[in-house]
Amino acid sequence: MMTRTQRGFTLVEILVVIAIIGLLVAMLLPAVQMAREAARRSQCANNMKQLGLALHNYQTAHRVLPPAMIWNGRGEPYGAGLLPIGTFDRVAMGISPGSQPDRLYANWVMLLLPYLEQQAVHNSFNLHLPVDDPANRAARTVNLPVMRCPTDTNNDLPYERALLAGAAGHSYARGNYAMNMGTNHGCFTFQPSCPDGFHSDTNDLINTNSKVWGSGLGGFNVSFGFEQFPKGTSNIIAVDEVRAGIEPIDPRGTWAIGMTGASITALPFAGPNRGGDMITSCTELVLKYSAAELERLGMACSSGPVRGNYGATARSQHVGVVNVARLDGSVDAISNTVDPAVWTQLHAKDEIELP
């Protein structure tokens, strides 16, 4: 009687099968990653649609859009006559709390919370106190899903606002959307040869300045109504996508702080993901990473003559594009290679010249 023996796989055959499976996985992985990023980018765009709808509902209720931020007091004695209100950060520089209280109060996101189904968070803020007051600590550290783009790998890292001055306990949650304040020239219209600069209510930045605004959606203590956008709501960007800071001292992408870089974009940048943001901690970031490395990371940073948050552009970790929300509520993906002239005009309610 004949017996039948079962032949097994040889080692070579097993290795070939493993190699084929590995090759198939390697071929499939990029497609899976692309699909996941497409879903993340779609969620990011949907968040911006919600912000656009909230802006419209706010306009309906108040007849104006929210200001970029509310600042208490007049003049900025720490700005060396160069920086207006809203740019020098007293908390980051160790002046507040201490010799005087912070003067930064509510920003546009805090004012929109009731229109973003976040009434409870809005109610937990004391809007009669600075945002950095201990009474507002719990509210400002809330991670708001509607303010977070899932593509950003850093928005779980809280901003430690006083860490630059060596103090703890001043944490803020991150966000990825910023109000467009305008791509105006980096000067003021009261200065010579600055027709397309930012506006202020007085030319005394040290003592009496109480309002600052540009060509964008709102300013410091300044609100606009829809009738003040002569080019129409479809021709101006209301909200830019921004990236969260890469270090606890990096204020970029902080939803409850009404300063440029945190929840506001401003100044004449050539386009998304181009140029260096001008923020308080640039010196320390450049020393740690180098200017070239920050550029490679897509988080370029430039130090100014006086420490302050006064310039930031749109940024994202999407491949080749950033999301923007126009004032009519539509959301677009703008290429990183967009023409600078087009980018500038998209951030201006009036026609302005390129810087």
Q: What are the pLDDT digits (tens) for 88-97?
A: 999 999 999 8
CB atoms within 10 A of CB 29: 10
Q: Which two tokens stand for residue 270?
A: 């050539």
Amino acid identity of 117? E
**262 near 174, Cβ under 8 Å?**
no
Q: For residue 73, which of 211, 258, 200 has the smallest C-alpha distance?
A: 211
Which is nearest to 328 in space by CA: 224, 219, 232, 215?
232
Total-model pTM? 0.89
Q: Which of 140, 70, 91, 147 is nearest to 116 (CA)?
A: 147
Distance CA 13, CA 277 (A): 56
User: Above 70 in pLDDT, residue 77?
Assistant: yes
- Residue that the structure tokens 């656009």 belong to: 52
Using CA atoms, how far residue 46 sits from 49, 60, 117, 125, 334, in Å, is: 5, 21, 15, 26, 15
* 225-279 pLDDT, tens digit each: 999 999 999 999 999 999 999 999 999 999 999 999 999 999 988 899 999 999 9
* H-helix segments, the chain: 11-62, 108-112, 119-124, 137-140, 282-289, 291-296, 340-346
- Closest Cα to residue 89, out of 248, 261, 307? 307
pLDDT tens, residue by residue, 272-309: 999 999 999 999 999 999 999 999 999 999 987 789 99
Report yes or no: 279 and 312 within 8 Å, Cβ to Cβ: yes
